[in-house]
A and B are shown apart, each in its own frame.
Chain A
Amino acid sequence: MLMAAAACGGNDDSTSTATSEASSSAAPAGAALKVGLAYDIGGRGDGSFNDAAARGLDKAVAELKADKKELEAAAGETDAQKEERLRLLASNGYNPVIAVGFAYSESLKKVAPEFPDVKFAIVDDDAATGANISNLVFAEEQGSFLVGVAAALKSEKGSVGFVGGVDVPLIHKFQAGFEAGAKAVKPDIKLQSKYLTQPPDFGGFNDPAKGKTAAQGMFDSGADVVYQAAGGSGSGVFEAAKAAGAMAVGVDSDQAALPAYADVKDVIITSMIKKIDVAVFDFLKHAADGTVQSGKTVYDLKADGVGYSTTGGKIDDITSKIDEYKQKIISGEITVPSS
């Protein structure tokens, strides 16, 4: 489900000096914000990516007194269905409309020009651009670097693994950051990686059985920490870690704290947090104030858009070391590769 596509970048300077004047016409002052949100496959309750977006929306509903309408994507749907979903939200008076996930890129490109007065935002994609589109993207490689540091410090066997859901550019960022972080601590560390499916088969984000098998293979061949960026397949990685008495690193949300993973929380030493909730809430706050900027906003370590979690206290002894690397990344001393 989630992520990907960012690779088509190159449009960094599409900072299109947004026409935020138009926004005031859509929402009369004092009236409640009507927010439309379209989830990617997995939807609310996926314990990962979509849930993070849902938290941002919930916060906005509570603090900004916004109205909300949420629609979910189905597995294997076409772009036409996604277009229809966005159109439905926009034509029913929802403004702004948020599309969660790069999968909406093509659809948003088509729908956004049809509703010039509606503010659109898309998470994880900077390929769909327009005067009324805000691209909320993250520096996943920076957050992944930090959990790579944590994994390498915690690994007793000097061997760590990475399980990616689908072999797409966005997930490559997770892997690149993680491996760079692990190598920064132990240059001779053994690295393994596996992508569960190849695009256009996005089933790899939804197949815990495959995630489990792949992680088992890594544990059997010597790894003792595995980082997963595999959406719904991640629960299989946690199961495998539990069965092998090994460790795992979560992704997107603070997964050790989620009720969905209560049974396996002991093996999750940390999670790479991608603060989609912050990004979504920021965007909605700007929408409420009428100060929406179109174009790309990058949420990186400096902007506190990515980070790592400490729930469970498994990495309390090494947080100072991780934070050293964090400062180096923020100051620019370390540049994290993104592919």
Chain B
Amino acid sequence: MSGQAEGTTTAPAPAGGARATSPARRFRVTTPILLLGGVGLVVLLSAVRIVTGASDITSGGTVAAALGLAVPIGLAALGGLWSERAGVVNIGLEGMMVLGTWFGAWGALQFHSPWAGVVAGAVGGALGGAIHAVATVTFGVDHIISGVAINIVGVGFTQYLSKLVFEKMPGGGTKNSPQLPEMGRLSVTFIDGPLRTLEAKQWFLLSDFAGILRGLTQGVSWFTILAILLVPLSYYILWRTAFGLRLRSCGERPVAAESLGVNVYLYKWAAVVVSGLLAGLGGAFLSIVAAGIYRDGQTGGRGYIGLAAMIFGNWRPGGLAGGAALFGYTDALQLRQGGVSVHALLLVVALLLAAMAVYQLVRQSRTVAALITAGCAALVFVVFMMTDTVPEQFTTFTPHLTTLLVLSLASQRLRMPAADGIPYRRGQTT
């Protein structure tokens, strides 16, 4: 799904247009390259695991945890994608997620079914999206102001609701719900035993693949599977249907879209409501699956991280999934075996930087850039060699730092929808 070039802009784009950016790309990311990169990464991680003895970096537990931590972020990012592709910046994702955590928990408790919670969480989030749509689309309010307002209102509203509802339940309080009913998990049981044995052998590559496979096939919540399926589904709707084409045209050049008969307000409305719905799902995942309980403030800024993951992914479904996965993986590493795993990660970073330096020198002939990259690689390597473990103070922000690093390296190639964040009034001419 990420094998496409830049968003197929519909606007006639006489002034250069989106395609003018493509020469900046050195190569197109195709499926074989992606697969090759993935396998290469596992080989690298495996080698590092053998060298450092940090066995947790490819263990089944880490992969499963990474998946669980990536899903809420990925869903928020997907929400951001829908909204911003239609030209509405949605910084209110965090607030919509908060609504999702509360309504998800409430639905699960009220109807004694986690799936009712999923639906309720989606509806709660969509409600937040609808408020954002009224403000930004119907009344033309600045997108950031409306979004920030939703973040504040979301927290206050759920606190009020908790007081009304959860406080009266046994085990609940003004700040938390009782324990929620558990959601079913999918396990491909017949391969669990062999994979576990293989993983325990600590063989090069084979054990790593066994660990990764085990993490992806054992005890995976059905909600996780739903969330993963939403990524290709979003891609299909936004890039392969007439509806999606019109929706994206509203984010690129709403005036042109309107002149061609697209009801821009309607499409923006739909996009922002879906955006809230997806963020609400992310919140519901957090309370129902990840925590098993609603707690006030449990989103902990994941909505903003989701927004960053979307930008990281260049406003593309495949890219944002990658961003969420990277964040989830590094977060899982630092939470599980912080010092040791993050220390091993330093070696991975050093090797990747060294490889990049070689690439810059040989393929791009950028001597200065290559020297700088090589210098960084050497520096990281020295830090790796000088230390045995990474202090707790640093491990905690590993995910943020990693994301920031990749983002700053890739930022030259990002292209946001042309009319993103610009209020649109029907009848305007430019």
Contact = CB atoms under 8 A, between A and B. Distances in A.
A212 B175 contact: no
Nearest to B59: A220
A99 B301 CA distance: 27
B148 to A, nearest CB: 13
Interface string B151-170: 00001000100000011001
Contacts of B155: 74-75
Contact of A259 (B56, B170, B296, B300): B170
A232 B56 CA distance: 26
Contacts of B297: 41, 75-76, 203, 206
Interface stretch (A42-50, A139-147, A317-325): A42-50
A45 B332 contact: no
Contacts of B172: 45, 260
B235 to A, nearest CB: 27
Interface string B283-305: 00010001111011110110000
A72 interface: yes
A280 to B, nearest CB: 18
Interface string A69-83: 000101110000000
A194 B61 CA distance: 17
Contacts, number: 134
B251 to A, nearest CB: 31
Contacts of B167: 45
Interface in A37-60: 41-47, 51
Interface stretch (B27-35, B114-122, B257-265, B389-397): B389-397
A262 B179 contact: yes
B69 interface: yes
Most A CB atoms within 10 A — which of B68, B69, B296, B335? B335
A158 B77 CA distance: 42
Interface in A209-265: 209-210, 212-214, 216-218, 220-221, 232, 235-236, 239, 258-264
B292 A239 contact: yes
Interface residues of B, number: 41
Contacts of A207: 291, 295, 298, 300
Nearest to A207: B300
Contact of B392 (A167, A218, A220): A167
B292 A208 contact: yes
A24 interface: no
20 contacts: A41-B296, A42-B296, A45-B175, A45-B176, A46-B176, A51-B173, A75-B296, A194-B338, A195-B396, A203-B300, A203-B301, A209-B291, A217-B332, A232-B298, A235-B293, A259-B171, A259-B178, A260-B171, A261-B179, A262-B171
Given A195-B396, A207-B295, A220-B61, 17 more contacts: A42-B176, A45-B166, A45-B176, A46-B175, A75-B297, A197-B396, A206-B295, A206-B296, A206-B297, A209-B291, A210-B335, A212-B292, A217-B61, A217-B65, A217-B337, A259-B178, A264-B179
